[in-house]
Amino acid sequence: MDDTPRILAESEAPSPFRHFTRDEWARLRADTELTLTIDDLRKLQSMHEPINIDEVIAIYLPLSRLLALYVAATQGLFKATQRFLGAEDGGKVPYIIGVAGSVAVGKSTTARVLQALLSRWPNTPKVQLITTDGFLHPNEKLLADGLMDRKGFPESYDGSALIRFLADVKAGVRCVTAPVYSHLVYDVVPGDTVVVDQPDILIVEGLNVLLPNRLSREGKEIPFVSDFFDFSVFLDAREDLLEKWYIERFMRLRDTAFRDPRSYFAKYSTFDDAQARETARNIWRRINLVNLRENILPTRPRASLRLIKGPSHRIEKVALRKL
């Protein structure tokens, strides 16, 4: 008998995830009713991130059903723990969901659809959504620190402020504020905030929300953003598709938002097709692709759920972390 260790094929190697085809996942919807109308969907989607009713039914209804079960179980565990400790009711502790993935993969639409679906479940009527863009350092600081071309990289965020925000939300503090970012002016809006007030669920959407901090050599406790998450979703797609979608989005913006004189990118509105495509490709490969490879993709295995997209933005596979 040959005792030589056999190298496992990728399909045979142990995995912390359970994998589903689109059809297998869609069947997990069971009898969950569609609570969104066509008009609701039109309001949720953007011209940059297409989605249709079939996608909501096949992918997001089963996911909302799963999350409703997880939230109910977490709420029950919290109450049981309070009884065990003999503690008084400390108020509502929000269930926090992280949504991560590359630029142009469709995080914003996914987050909005989840917010709309989850707010229609009876035990989670109050669902709020924030993006980590608001925690980017202002352009003035990024310019001073030479980081404008690293915008979206971990060092471009005020990580301490984001951790404080999440810690307060998770502690059940009332009326916690988060800064607001404007994609029109490409900067944090001074004095503008969004208030998070003890929601049942908080959805946190951002590029690097699953990225761990560097460990302290002194043994100090350094919390990760994801330490505050109860569940996380990673939107995934091939690099060539992400580049294609980024360029397509850039071309649409050239003819829409970039034409607003207030836009940070107004100069691109006068570019012809060839100039615009080359500019978008350069930005993608010089900045966004580097961030994807260095910081975003390495966090993919840390997600609770992966939604894997095909060429038409259609989610073709789902991978759910085993409990």
pLDDT higher than threshold 50 for residue 252: yes
- 6 lies in a domain? no
**Considering only 45-54, 62-71, 174-183, which range has the smallest mean pLDDT?**
45-54
Could you tell me which residues come within 8 angstroms of residue 192 by beta carbon, excluding any fewer than 6 positions away?
179, 180
With contact defined as beta carbons under 8 Å apart, do 201 and 72 qualify? no
Could you tell me which residues come within 8 angstroms of residue 242 by beta carbon, excluding any fewer than 6 positions away?
102, 103, 104, 105, 284, 288, 292
pLDDT per residue as tens digits for the range 222-246: 788 989 999 999 999 999 999 999 9
* The two three-digit tokens of residue 98, written as one number: 């992280």
Predicted local confidence at residue 122, as pLDDT: 84
DSSP E strand stretches across the chain:
17-21, 95-101, 127-131, 176-182, 187-196, 201-205, 231-236, 305-309, 315-321
**Mean local confidence (pLDDT), 215-225:** 68
Predicted local confidence at residue 217, as pLDDT: 61
Predicted local confidence at residue 293, as pLDDT: 97
pLDDT per residue as tens digits for the range 123-174: 888 999 999 999 999 999 999 999 999 999 999 999 999 999 999 999 989 9
What share of the chain in percent tops pLDDT 70? Answer: 89
pLDDT higher than threshold 90 for residue 93: no
φ, ψ at 17 (rounded to 5°): -110, 150
- To 10 degrees, what angle do helices 107-118 and 61-85 make? 60
Predicted local confidence at residue 309, as pLDDT: 96
Res. 67 pLDDT band, cuts 50 70 90: very high
Across the beta sheet with 201-205, the strand order is 17-21, 315-321, 305-309, 231-236, 95-101, 201-205, 127-131
Predicted local confidence at residue 296, as pLDDT: 96
Domain containing 63 equals 17-321
With contact defined as beta carbons under 8 Å apart, do 42 and 51 qualify? no
- Split into its structural domains, the chain has a count of 1
pLDDT higher than threshold 90 for residue 14: no
Could you tell me which residues come within 8 angstroms of residue 165 by beta carbon, excluding any fewer than 6 positions away?
135, 176, 177, 178, 196
Largest Cα span, the chain: 76
pLDDT per residue as tens digits for the range 302-322: 999 999 999 989 999 999 999
Predicted local confidence at residue 50, as pLDDT: 66
Predicted local confidence at residue 7, as pLDDT: 46
pLDDT higher than threshold 70 for residue 46: no
**Mean local confidence (pLDDT), 89-96:** 79
What CA–CA distance (Å, rounded) separates 28 from 212? Answer: 32
With contact defined as beta carbons under 8 Å apart, do 292 and 303 qualify? no
Res. 2 pLDDT band, cuts 50 70 90: low
> Smallest Cα–Cα separation from 68: which of 76, 57, 58, 78?
76
Sign of the Cα pseudo-torsion (187, 184, 224, 215, in order): negative
Average pLDDT of every residue of the chain: 89
pLDDT higher than threshold 90 for residue 266: yes
Res. 91 pLDDT band, cuts 50 70 90: low
Sign of the Cα pseudo-torsion (166, 169, 174, 177, in order): positive
- 1 lies in a domain? no
- 10 lies in a domain? no
Query: Residue 246 belongs to a domain with what CATH number?
Result: 3.40.50.300
